[in-house]
């Protein structure tokens, strides 16, 4: 299994592996992958995590992230240039610790692909990590919108990924000392 990550999974044991999943893996999930990695690095736990992303569909496999997503990330200091889209493979569940869906449709598909209780236990929604997200659990798809919507989505992704890093940080720092 190959992850688009800054960390070599094969030589670094005990990484906490997170995969962010959206529809085509060119807008929302690449943003989450890059933002999460950057925030984990800033929190001092980047060496303990591996972030990747994928789509539920195969429409964009091999393509770079949407130029509007890359531009939105660049304006905030993130680099999404190297991303290439791929489709989630249910066999990856075994090697992942957390699978983060960007909206409820992705969650339903992932629930269907999860064949065991252990696989289903790894599933969550990104906005579950954003304080005060209310009942809305979906990160909106900016693909059919304008550039401004990519900034709105990036705002949500940043806040939710910050919450995810805050939740993981104590365990990762404790694990790092042992």
Which residues form the catalytic set? 22, 28, 141
Report the largest interatomic distance among the alpha carbons of the chain, rounded to a whole angstrom. Answer: 47
90 secondary structure, DSSP code: G
| Dist CA 89 CA 75 (whole Å) | 32
Residues 6 or more apart from 53 whose CB is under 8 A from it?
4, 19, 20, 21, 22, 25, 29, 30, 32, 33, 83
Q: 12 vs 48, 93, 132, CA distance in Å?
A: 9, 19, 35
Best CA proximity match to 88, nearest among 119, 62, 125, 113: 113
Question: What does the DSSP assignment read for 40-78?
Answer: HHHTT-GGGEEEEEEESS-TTTTPPPPHHHHHHHHHTT-
- Type and span of the H or E element at 20: strand 16-22
């Amino acid at each position: 299994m190959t992850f688009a990550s800054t960390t070599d999974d094969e030589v670094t044991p005990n990484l906490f592996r997170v995969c962010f999943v959206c529809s085509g893996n060119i807008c929302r999930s690449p943003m989450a992958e890059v933002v999460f990695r950057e925030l984990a690095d800033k929190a001092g736990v980047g060496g303990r995590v591996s972030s990747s992303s994928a789509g539920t569909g195969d429409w964009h496999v091999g393509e770079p992230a949407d130029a509007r997503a890359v531009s939105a990330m660049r304006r905030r200091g993130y680099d999404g240039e190297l991303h290439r889209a791929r489709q989630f493979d249910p066999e990856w569940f075994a090697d992942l610790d957390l699978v983060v869906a960007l909206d409820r449709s992705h969650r339903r598909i992932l629930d269907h692909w999860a064949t065991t209780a252990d696989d289903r236990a790894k599933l969550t929604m990104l906005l579950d990590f954003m304080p005060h997200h209310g009942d809305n659990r979906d990160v909106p798809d900016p693909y059919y919108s304008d550039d401004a919507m990519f900034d709105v989505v990036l705002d949500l992704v940043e806040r939710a990924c910050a919450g995810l890093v805050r939740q993981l940080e104590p365990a990762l720092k404790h694990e790092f000392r042992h």
